[in-house]
Structure formats: C-alpha cells, structure tokens
Amino acid sequence: MFFLAGGQPRVYRETVEALLRSLHARETARLSAVADTARKAGYPPAAGEGIAAMNPKAKTKTLAAAIWPATDEAGLRTMRAVLLALLGSLLVAVSAQLQVPMYPVPMTMQPFAVIVIGAAYGARLGFATLLLYIAEGALGLPVFAGMKGGAIHLAGPTAGYIFGFALAAGAVGWLAERRWDRSVLMTIVAMTIGMALIYIPGLAWLTHWLGLEKGMPFANAAETALATGAMKFLIGDAVKILLAALVLPGAWWLIGRKGV
C-alpha cells in the first residue's frame, strides 16, 4: 500500500508535487507583481509576461497621466479630471474655428484635436471631454464651427460628426491605454479607426438629413453625403492622421528622454 505502480513511494511523490505547486504559486505571484508594477509605471510589457501582455484589460498610463500624474486623494483626482476636460473641450472649440468653409460640412482641425485628446487622455476622460464639448455647444456656447452654438446644431447636417467625436475619442483613448500611441505605425492605425468612427455616424446622419430636409431619395442622399461629407475631406484627414502619428510618439520619446 505504501508503493504505487512502478515502485514510486506515494509519500515521495506527494512531497515533490506539493513542492512544485508551492514554487509555481510563488513564481506566478512574483511575475504578476512585477508585471503590475511595470504597467503602472508605463514600461513596455516584459517578454516574460507572454499572454498577460495580450490581455485587453492590461492598461498602461496615458500621455496626460505621464505629464500630470493623478493622486490618490479623491478630491484632487476629480479636480484634475475636471480641469483636463475643460482644457480639452477648449482645444476642440478652438480647433473648430480653424476651418475651410464648405457646404454642407466645413473642413476643420477638429478631427485632429479629437483624436489627439482621446489618445492623450485615455478612453474615459477622452469620451467625457467630448461629451462636455457637446454639452457646451448645446447650451449655446460658441464652440461649434463658425463660432456657433445651440442645440439646433445637434440636429443639423453636422450632428452625426459631432456625436462621432465622442466615440472616436473614447476608442482612440482605449487603444492608447494599450500602447497604440507609442509607435508611428500603430498610431496611424489607431487614428484611422478614430477617423472612421467620426465618419460613420456623420455620413449616416447626413444621409438622413438630406432625405428629410432636402427631400432626396435615399440613394441620391447617400451619394451626396459621401461626396460632400467624406470624399473631399479624405486627403486633409490623412494629413491629420500623419501629423498625429508624429506628435504622439514624439511626445512619448521626449518624455522618455526626460525620465518623466
């Protein structure tokens, strides 16, 4: 009874298994602690993290957090978030005034500001910042293109693009939290996704608006929306994506040199 098949003592086997389980548990805990510390510090995932590095929930700090770290004190953390949101909404408002007048959708620098703010702030704060911007415009503040404001603009031809700003900022922020803003190539991919999330609701609403306000059949409205609300902006938006792909990795490079 003391021996198993093959002659191995049961006590010996159980002792070795217990030792191996103990060593495995200790090593797993150690690697997990190291990985958590590295992620909080914003360092690249170590090669040994393996599967943990591919975890979509494994976030790193954002550009804003690297420049202005949040504190553990709830009041100060809230004040920081409010100030950053106000600053971000102001930048989007200013960028809206840098425009080339076109009908029915003007070309502005807003998309560039939106995707950069999303990347710099992260998903939650980026999304909240653009919601704040939309709320400011709805309340009548002159934050929309052409120094316009009022809730009526949230039912006009550009309404879909405006609401798409919040989606884009949130999505780009989510990707940036997973280090998609650290290299030129990955930043281009992230910014392209962000731009798509501006165009999709923008074109959908513009098509609906043209049919409702101009009485166009759906096919004609969709064709007109694509021509006036997308095609003529593609080159300009491609330039904005490339500019963001230089600004964001460049900012991280400078932070790395200064040891922030």
- b/e sequence 221-254, b meaning 16+ C-beta within 10 Å: bbebbeebbeeebeeebeebbeebbebbbebbee
Sequence length of the chain is 260
Q: Rounded CA gap, 161 and 248, in Å?
A: 23
Over the stretch 221-242, which tens digit does the pLDDT of each residue have?
Answer: 999 999 999 998 999 999 999 9
Which pLDDT score is estimated for 130?
Answer: 98
Over the stretch 243-259, which tens digit does the pLDDT of each residue have?
Answer: 999 999 999 999 887 65
Instruction: Name which residue leads in pLDDT, 70 or 54.
Output: 70
Over the stretch 164-219, which tens digit does the pLDDT of each residue have?
Answer: 999 999 999 999 999 999 999 999 999 999 999 999 999 999 999 999 988 999 99
pTM score > 0.85 for this model?
no
Mean pLDDT of 28-41: 61
Lookup: tokens for 218 = 């759906």
